[in-house]
Amino acid sequence: MSRALPVQIRRALIAVLIARTAANAGLRIVYPFLPAISRGLGVSVATLSVLIAVRNFGGIAAPLAARTAETIGRRSMMMWSVGAVAVGTAITAAAPGLWVAGIGIVLVGLAKPAFDVPMQGWFGDRVPYERRGRVLGITELTWSTALLVTVPVSGFLIAATSWRA
């Protein structure tokens, strides 16, 4: 038996690594820059922290994401979710104040599990059981990659553009 994954799976894994790194960046970037973001929005760190807690509460929608993915298709759900993360981040970046930023932040919080759940099912359908753990483990590298890559870049961009702070 060949140890190499089929080309379709390898390509999908690369696409997922890119998409999840971007989505995870949208979630993780908030924590180290909470003071700068709260100053930019004109609110206290405590107020923004409550909004982040509301965003994280969106994870309870994961079962709904699974049901929706079974209805519209896993790949379609993943594509919509990546689009929603992009829209949510853009709304947040352009937000004139807390309420608009809140819409973007919560959208990212809902879209992230809406991507992860069908992604796991998609790989589960296509990767043999004895190799599935390794593939899903590789997808989890995106948490650390998002932090290690995007936080320094974001810090540089915030410093260079004086993002509302």
- Per the structure block, which two tokens stand in for 23? 């989505």
Domains by residue range for the chain, with CATH: 7-161 (1.20.1250.20)
**pLDDT-based confidence at 58, cuts 50/70/90?**
confident
| Other beta carbons less than 10 A from residue 100's beta carbon | 14
Q: Work out the average pLDDT over 64-90.
A: 95
Report, as an integer, the average pLDDT of 14-41: 92
Q: Please state which of the ranges 51-55, 118-122, 158-162 shows the lowest mean pLDDT.
A: 158-162
How many other CB atoms are there within 10 angstroms of residue 53's CB atom? 10
Across 147-153, average pLDDT: 90
Question: CB of 141 within 8 A of CB of 45?
Answer: no
At 163 the pLDDT is 67
pLDDT at res. 11: 96
Indicate the average pLDDT of the chain: 92
Q: Is 28:143 a contact under the CB 8 Å cutoff?
A: yes
Q: What whole-number distance in Å separates Cα of residue 114 and Cα of residue 19? A: 13
